[in-house]
């Protein structure tokens, strides 16, 4: 792949960046080299593979005197010959300036403000170039010193609204493969952190000192896992080394944010490899501590979770619907069934024991990952259905097949058997029963599991006539 050294005169983009002579980041192992310009005839990116909406955003920014580059995962995926799902744009315009340019936009975020520009169902995320944090004061310093950025004593960034230049932004990116910029004006790609080299070597490498970067934002450890799983890359040795020791820092990340990260980890088509890496780097212990503890103590637990991950990946590959409720049911089943048996030993009935165990495990789990009720409710129903499926006789057997949660519970039952659990042919019984019954509407493990409960209509009370 041909490359040329960065030179301002070689770029037709408006408001060109100045040459990055000594781009350094505090505690970096080495200085970031000057950007390498990769001309159109030396990279595989074609405008035909880029969203028209993203091209419009970049064009509009440039026409108003701002810089506008396609950046991050979109450039990375296009360089690898993959089609991105999302297109992000980076600019030197502030969020407020971007918002003024696009009536179809809104500013979101507190930790770092970004702009969403909506084109129908498509959203183009526009971010302002980020700056350095060398002068960011710790949280215990006087509040008047905490202006556009806030940093806790541990090093974690609490607010990140520090703007800078294109060069600053390149250094502030988390991984080298995400620090590639595409200019739609002359179709060039700019590489500030040897990202192309890492793409060629199929490795995930963090920009800067790994420990410092993870302390700034512990979620970067999850992102390293996610990109390695998604791209089937290795994590570079220095990038991987501190992860296990700093995994505990995930406990300081807001539980709601970790739920969003969990969806990215397990609901994107590479859940099984992600789960394996989370265990390898001891991150699962801090995301699902009860699950991590039960894996070695509960028979068939690991096989069940891996089977659920594999099933979810296969459904996504087949463009079938999936729901977090199903995969969460698999992840939390081992500690739930373990606690249920302990409660049963005290004399409790199976269903009561299961319900008590489920409530306890879920209550503990939401302190780590804030799972919304719209997922915990169907998850618990899938578990309770495992007891109902034990019944092979009675008037309600046939009617259970029509229950909205039957299909997900049935799929879960089959996974339990596939993981090695002996259920005395229960899966075969319910399979044969369905074959004898009239065909049900098409479905699968996701049917109705992700639906939110519809609000009940309030009955309007008739007004009584006043007494004359």
Among 77, 88, 168, 198, the active-site one is: 88
Asked whether 160 and 149 are in contact (CB, 8 A), the reply is yes
CA-only gyration radius of the chain, Å:
26
Q: Is residue 134 annotated as a catalytic residue, yes or no? A: no
Among 168, 169, 174, 313, the active-site one is: 174
Task: Name the phi and psi angles at 189, rounded to 5.
Answer: -115, 135
Asked whether 38 and 191 are in contact (CB, 8 A), the reply is yes
Q: Is residue 88 annotated as a catalytic residue, yes or no? A: yes
Distance CA 27, CA 31 (A): 10
Task: Name the phi and psi angles at 32, rounded to 5.
Answer: -70, 130
**Do strands 203-204 and 188-191 pair parallel, antiparallel, or not at all (unpaired)?**
unpaired
Distance CA 276, CA 263 (A): 16
Please name which of 35, 353, 317 lies closest in space to residue 193, comparing C-alpha atoms: 35
Give the count of beta carbons closer than 10 Å to the beta carbon of residue 187.
15
Q: Is residue 41 annotated as a catalytic residue, yes or no? A: no
Please identify every residue annotated as catalytic. 86, 88, 174
């Amino acid at each position: 792949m041909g490359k040329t050294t960065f030179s301002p005169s070689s770029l037709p983009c408006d408001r060109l960046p100045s040459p990055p002579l000594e781009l350094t980041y505090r505690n970096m192992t080495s200085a970031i080299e000057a950007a390498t310009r990769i001309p159109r005839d030396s990279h595989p990116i074609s405008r035909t593979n880029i969203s028209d909406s993203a091209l419009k955003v970049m064009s509009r920014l440039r026409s108003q005197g701002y810089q506008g580059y396609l950046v991050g995962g979109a450039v990375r995926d296009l360089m690898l010959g993959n089609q991105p799902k999302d297109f992000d744009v980076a600019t030197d315009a502030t969020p407020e300036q971007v918002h003024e340019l696009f009536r179809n936009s809104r500013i979101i975020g507190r930790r770092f403000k970004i702009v969403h520009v909506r084109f129908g169902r498509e959203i183009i995320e526009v971010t302002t170039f980020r700056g350095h944090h060398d002068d960011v004061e710790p949280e215990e310093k006087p509040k008047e010193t905490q202006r556009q950025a806030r940093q806790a004593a541990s090093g974690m960034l609490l607010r990140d609204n520090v703007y800078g230049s294109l060069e600053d932004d390149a250094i502030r990116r988390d991984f080298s493969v995400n620090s590639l910029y595409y200019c739609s004006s002359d179709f060039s790609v700019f590489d500030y952190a040897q990202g192309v080299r890492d793409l060629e070597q199929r490795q995930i490498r963090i920009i800067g000192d790994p420990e410092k970067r993870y302390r700034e934002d512990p979620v970067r450890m999850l992102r390293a896992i996610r990109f390695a799983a998604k791209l089937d890359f290795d994590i570079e040795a220095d990038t991987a080394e501190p992860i296990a020791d700093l995994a505990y820092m995930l406990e300081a990340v807001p539980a709601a944010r970790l739920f969003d990260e969990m969806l990215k980890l397990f609901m994107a088509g590479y859940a099984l490899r992600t789960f394996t890496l989370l265990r390898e780097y001891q991150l699962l212990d801090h995301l699902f501590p009860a699950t991590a503890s039960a894996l070695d103590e509960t028979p068939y637990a690991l096989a069940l979770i891996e089977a659920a991950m594999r099933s979810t990946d296969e459904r996504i590959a087949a463009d079938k619907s999936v729901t977090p409720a199903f995969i969460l049911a698999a992840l939390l089943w081992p500690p739930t069934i373990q606690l249920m048996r302990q409660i049963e030993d005290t004399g409790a009935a199976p269903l009561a024991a299961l319900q008590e165990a489920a409530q306890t495990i879920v209550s503990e789990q939401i302190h780590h990952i804030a799972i919304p009720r719209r997922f915990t409710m169907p998850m618990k129903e899938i578990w309770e259905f495992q007891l109902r499926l034990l019944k092979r006789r009675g008037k309600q057997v046939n009617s259970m097949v029509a229950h909205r949660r039957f299909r997900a519970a049935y799929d879960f039952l089959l996974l339990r058997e596939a993981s090695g659990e002996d259920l005395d042919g229960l899966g075969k019984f319910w399979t044969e029963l369905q074959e004898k019954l009239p065909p049900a509407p098409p479905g699968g493990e996701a049917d109705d599991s992700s639906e939110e409960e519809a609000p009940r209509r309030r009955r309007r009370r008739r007004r009584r006539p006043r007494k004359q």
